Structure 1
């Protein structure tokens, strides 16, 4: 297996030329545009099972390791240069460009191939708002102590039992 890099004939994402990554030569390593990163560039390592995004933000280097199954699918999106094929994530800042071209036949074939390789669905448009944040699983723990969560709450609707006119056993000293 050989590795593709930005200097091996593959145009980096965000360049003025069309981007075409070869899906049959995975793993691929290339540079993509990132609006939040220093220098507006991030390094992407793409494999069949995982994606590694490396970038520096305010001088702090970071690497995000994501499974391919964490992505929503392979999405087709219209851009000013033509059409863009991307690996769509729930967080739009983690989308990964795969192919940018104006040729409809080429983009249709690439869309099917990338979808088959990653075993992800083909999505029509990835230009949408991020999904709302999921509810935390332990939200109740912040409200009640653990032993109170285990205890069964009393029933306030029924009155407490009161015993009158009966002999009681009282322990006296």
Structure 2
């Protein structure tokens, strides 16, 4: 999934605490439509904003399953500075919900895992090219498997060790039951 440019909320550092829900956040949009008011809880979130053209109020309730995952995005702000954002990723960039923006990489990693576990969503990474990948896909791209395949010789394919060739007990399809009386005399 490809996403757009830097999100609107990436200019200000903040953190929504996953341990204290519900949480509220207000940020300004790039256009003159006004502020976006977001309330996040463990069931999803509610976005309140005004429509661009008419200015009418718009409330959007988004359940957790409307999001594709909890995404982390890193942006270089200087030669040694990295700004990382954590967000609930939606296929519509205007409906993505920010959770954390800051320079604290350990805090972001901790919150990333916590939000993912709390909401039951996968952990995603937004690459520099704007493509969103799961954490597993990104790890596979970084770590290449350099192991070699085992050698298989044709002469060993027909031969099996003796312990693997043992016969198993079969069934006759019927079961013999003996019933009788003990005939040994006892004093």
TM-score by length of 1: 0.60
Contact kept, 8 Å, 2:9 with 2:98, in 1: the verdict is no
1:129-148 alignment, distance < 5 Å: none
5+ residue gaps, structure 2, are 1-7, 133-187
Structure exhibiting the larger radius of gyration computed from Cα positions: 2
**Structure 1 match to 2:15:** 20
Task: Say what the alpha-carbon RMSD is for the aligned residues.
Answer: 2.3
**Structure 2 match to 1:118:** 119
Q: Would you say how many aligned residue pairs link Structure 1 and Structure 2?
A: 116
Runs of 4+ in 1 over 6 A off after TM superposition: none
Out of 119-128 and 101-110, give the one that drifted further.
119-128
Query: What displacement does 1:116 show?
Result: 0.7
1:26-105 alignment, distance < 5 Å: 26-35=21-30, 38-39=33-34, 41-57=35-51, 58-79=54-75, 80=77, 82-105=83-106
Query: What displacement does 1:35 show?
Result: 3.5
Contact kept, 8 Å, 1:49 with 1:69, in 2: the verdict is no
Q: Deviations over 1:45-77 (max 9, x none)?
A: 111112110001232111011111110000000
Query: What displacement does 1:17 show?
Result: 4.6
Q: Does the residue aligned with 1:97 lie in a helix, a strand or coil?
A: strand
TM-score by length of 2: 0.56
Flag the structure with more relative contact order, 1 or 2, with Cα contacts below 8 A and sequence separation at least 6.
Answer: 2
